[in-house]
Copies of this chain bind each other. A is one copy, B any other.
Amino acid sequence: MEGLKEIDKAYITMPKGFKANGISADLKGNNALDVALIISDVPCNVAGTYTSNLVKGHSLVRSIDVINQNNKIRGIIVNSKNANACVGQVGYDDACDIAKTVASEIGCNENEILTASTGVIGSRLPADKIKAVIPELVKSLSIDEQAAHNAELAMMTTDTVPKEVSASVTLKNGKQVTISGMAKGSGMIHPNLATMIGIFTTDADIDSKVLNTLIHNAVKHTFNRVSVDGDTSVCDMVIVMANGESGVTIEEGTEDFTIFDEALTSLANDIAQMIASDGEGATKFIEIEVYGAKNEADAKLIVTSVARSPLCKTAFFGMDANCGRIITAVGYSGADFDPNKVDLDLSGLPVYRNGCAIDFDEDLAHELLTKHDINVKITLHEGEAYDRMYTCDFSYDYVKINGSYRS
């Protein structure tokens, strides 16, 4: 059957022709993995989406420059612990130096290597430490599952679980391609995008312009609908690399395009849910849905407003069916609606109808709210627009993690 088929295992080198590994450059200390490298055997097309923050990290700015040159690339090097941001021209130069070192070991041009950094902002990147381990890292590149997991582990900062997905996609006439994705992201997470680095690989052959359409479609209602704390970071990027090693070409406007588009979006959605679920200090995964908004803009305003409300997020942590706080956040969202028509359901339980709180079984509500996954459904009865956002609760641990993260 056509479409996406999830595979039991999930790692970034499942598509043909990709190798990866992670290594410790002693950035985090304790020999923890902190530098990741993903390389395609052959030059591949690439497309990406980036943070909307006016302040952008230097490694990211360099990658955007490279991608805008519209060349094929060979891969990407990522370091954690230091965001390489807000340090001036040296930060850009450091990213170039690192790319140059990788390129010389791989045997390619420095503009075929993307760079990404995540971690603390405002400290000079210890580029020498990273450059020193690159020869060994390049030698260790492998298609092995563990090597691929190492790459993921090396990207993680405050993440508590790895975030990896893989699927095989069956196209028309039985042709098959594979897509894998991996991401890091836990705090400083808010749409467009987040302290989030997402990397997808595929062995499909896809033109970079088509790939650009596909990655933008995929992030729109997935990565761009995750909010952990409302803070949009300076280093976020989601890229997809397509090396064509499957021999299968996907062109815009075809049925195969649609199948691939849905598959990539579905995998992006899986990762988006993992990120919200692993939000800093999170004890709950919360899906905020709005139905019946006047238009798409209003729908987005409402889910965003509820998802970033500290009062709603602490109430979820307290497992309190506090519909007043949710309705308040809906009210100040800036969306236009009649407050007397609003309905609200918490994990399927009606708690608010026609602008009024209604009696509900508090014990049942509490039972529903003790579950890990919570659904908030807001219905406006104004129009047909729908949106959805993933978030998590605000816990003591969020404060603990972020009251002491830098040092």
Q: Which residue of B lies closest to A401 (CB)?
A: B314
Per the 8 Å Cβ criterion, residues 348-372 of A in contact with B are 352, 354-357
Neighbour of A328 across the interface among B233, B342, B355, CB < 8 A: B233
Q: State whether B230 touches A308 (Cβ < 8 A).
A: yes
- Chain A, 384-407, CB within 8 A of any chain B CB: 394-396, 398-400, 402-407
Pair B399/A324 contact, Cβ less than 8 Å:
no
Copies in the complex: 2
How many of chain A's residues have a CB under 8 angstroms from any CB in B? Answer: 65
1/0 per residue, CB under 8 A from B, across A93-108: the answer is 0000000000000000
Q: Which of A326-363 contact B (CB under 8 A)?
A: 327-332, 335-337, 339, 342, 352, 354-357
Tell yes or no: A42 within 8 A of B by CB.
no
Give the docked Cα–Cα distance between A95 and B336 (Å).
Answer: 26
Could you tell me if B54 and A314 are in contact, using CB atoms closer than 8 angstroms? Answer: no
A126 at the interface (CB under 8 A from B): no
Pair A355/B88 contact, Cβ less than 8 Å: yes
Q: What CA separation (Å) do A315 and B32 show in the bound complex?
A: 25
B52 touches A229 (CB 8 A): no
Taking CB atoms, residues of chain B closer than 8 Å to A394 are 310, 399
Chain A residues at the B interface, C-beta cutoff of 8 Å: 51-56, 83, 85-88, 120-123, 187-188, 190, 229-234, 308-311, 314-315, 317-318, 320, 322-325, 327-332, 335-337, 339, 342, 352, 354-357, 394-396, 398-400, 402-407
